[in-house]
Structure 1
Amino acid sequence: MTESHVDLTPMLDVVFILLIFFIVTATFAQEDALGLEPPPTDGTADPAQKAMVVAVAESGVVTVDGRPTDIGSVRANIERVRAASPDVRILIKADPKAKSGTVVLIRDAAYAAGYTEGVNFVLDRKT
């Protein structure tokens, strides 16, 4: 009785050629980065310039200038303060354990209220 033998070399060649083809022709998604500006630390910041502080606690509670508020009304608060004094800056102060989605919603609300720059972000490290 004779044994039959199957040569797997041609199949492996085809598999490697397909693998190389798919790696070379693959397109990768370009991730968008968050457009957050850290506050200036080189002394160029004007200490007399007012800043509206939007704080996010670890529990998800959002406060605007010390007053607790709903995430949906952050944009209205920013627009109200900007109408009163257009040179005010926005400072997003977030707890390190706060949800990043909440911080992004606040940043988006500031951009929607007309801020293209002047939105700063700091981590609220309580020691």
Structure 2
Amino acid sequence: MKIRRHKKRSRVDLAPLIDVVFLLLIFFMLTFAVQGQGLDMLLPKESQAATENPEKPVVIAIKQDGSITLNGKPLSSDALLNKLTQALQTRQDKQVVIESSEDARYEVFVNVLDITRQAGVTDYSIVM
């Protein structure tokens, strides 16, 4: 008796490979940037006034002990309103940078914000 042994041939299934190739093809087609896609924008040119006379920012610093300085000069909270109003009269931009210590009391910070609003500040930068 002769027993024949059939050897099964293993085949590589190409269906998953083809699926991956098509997914990669679709991904690259969707992310490829084609000229003509996008928006045409006209960016404003730099103005002469901004480059000729840059103004130094008005900086109010609140320290840990609650003391307040305006451009490096120590002030009381009562005098801050007058000095800040004077400093902002000649400026076009009504911007103030408020630097506060992490350990400063929240009450002092809110008080300074109220004073700056009364002085006419319209733009704030807060640094902690």
The normalised TM-score by structure 1 is 0.55
RMSD: 1.9
Give the number of equivalent residue pairs.
77
Match of 1:20 in 2: none
2:72 aligned to which of 66, 70, 76: 66
1:103 aligned to which of 109, 117, 125: 109
5 Å-filtered alignment, 1:1-127, equals 48-115=54-121, 117-123=122-128
Q: Which amino acid aligns with 2:68?
A: V
3-state SS of paired residue (1:104): helix
Q: Which amino acid aligns with 2:124?
A: V
Point out 4+ residue stretches in structure 1 off by more than 2 angstroms: 46-50
Q: Which has the larger radius of gyration?
A: 2
3-state SS of paired residue (1:75): helix
Report the alpha carbon displacement of residue 72 of structure 1 after superposing the two structures with TM.
Answer: 1.1
The normalised TM-score by structure 2 is 0.55
Distance 2:110 2:85 in 1: 17
Q: Does structure 2 retain, via aligned residues, the 8 Å contact 1:53–1:90?
A: yes
Gaps of 5+ in 2: 1-49
Q: Does 1 or 2 have the higher relative contact order (CA < 8 Å, sep 6+)?
A: 1
